[in-house]
Amino acid sequence: MKYAARILMVVCAFALVIPAFADDQEKAQKEIKKISAITSDASMRALVNRTMADMLNVKRLDLVKERQSMNLNYGGVFLAHQLMAGGAKMDDIAAALKSGKSIFDVANDQHANWKQIANDAKKMNKKIDDNIEKYFQNTKKETEKNNADDYVVQDDHTAADQDVSKAELADAQSRYQHLHDMAAASLPTGDANERNNGVGPASPSMPSSAPSSGGRH
């Protein structure tokens, strides 16, 4: 009887753990896809590149090379770095991707800590939001930062950038507009004319579909 009770307790424990694990993964994937969707706009792609390089303590051009060599969007390269922080090797990740697996498949194969990844992705999106708001407050200054370090946004693209759904793109557009409005509201009264001299655009608009990047889809 005691043995049967212990087995029942173990089964119940697993029954509780599995839904929690799935929920953590869902949260992580949602945050990761937010990173990818906002980069459908070229200016935002440059900003995300700079933000991610700062947060991950890597070189901006290295991020470009990594995602192009593995055909990853920015959410994907963020997840790859999370896996490497957990002990995975880039060569192994690249090999798995070339075999046809998605970066999320690779993460599950690596027994990813989805809860930690969700938290880190949320922090990344928060920093991206902060930098987008700064961009809208002074577009000229922030564009100069985005174009520093020999970074050229026109060279920063992969076929995986197309992997954004209409719903994700719509959410990115709403995010873009919301942050623009917050930035505009933070400007002193009477700065409407200044907006045309370097401060964010009055009527922001992201593209209606992910940018064409060439290559296979």
For 88-102, the pLDDT digits (tens) are 999 999 999 999 999
pLDDT in tens, 127-180: 999 999 999 999 999 999 999 999 999 999 999 999 999 999 999 999 999 999
Q: Helices 114-137 and 42-56 meet at what angle, rounded to 10?
A: 130
Mean residue pLDDT of the chain comes to 85
pTM: 0.81
Tell me the mean pLDDT in the region 61-76. Answer: 98
> Is residue 195 scored above 90 in pLDDT?
no
pLDDT for 13 equals 43
CA distance 40 to 172: 9
10 Å CB burial of residue 43 (0-12, 13-18, 19+) is buried
CA distance 117 to 113: 6
Amino acid at 43: S
**Extended strands (E) in the chain:** none
**What percent of the chain is predicted at pLDDT more than 70?**
77
Tell me the mean pLDDT in the region 75-79. Answer: 98
Helix (H, G, I), strand (E, B) or coil at 72: coil
CA distance 136 to 181: 9
Maximum Cα–Cα distance for the chain, whole Å?
Answer: 80
CA distance 153 to 45: 7
pLDDT for 20 equals 54
pLDDT for 22 equals 74
> Is residue 1 scored above 60 in pLDDT?
no
CA distance 173 to 204: 9
CA distance 128 to 6: 48
> Is residue 207 scored above 70 in pLDDT?
no
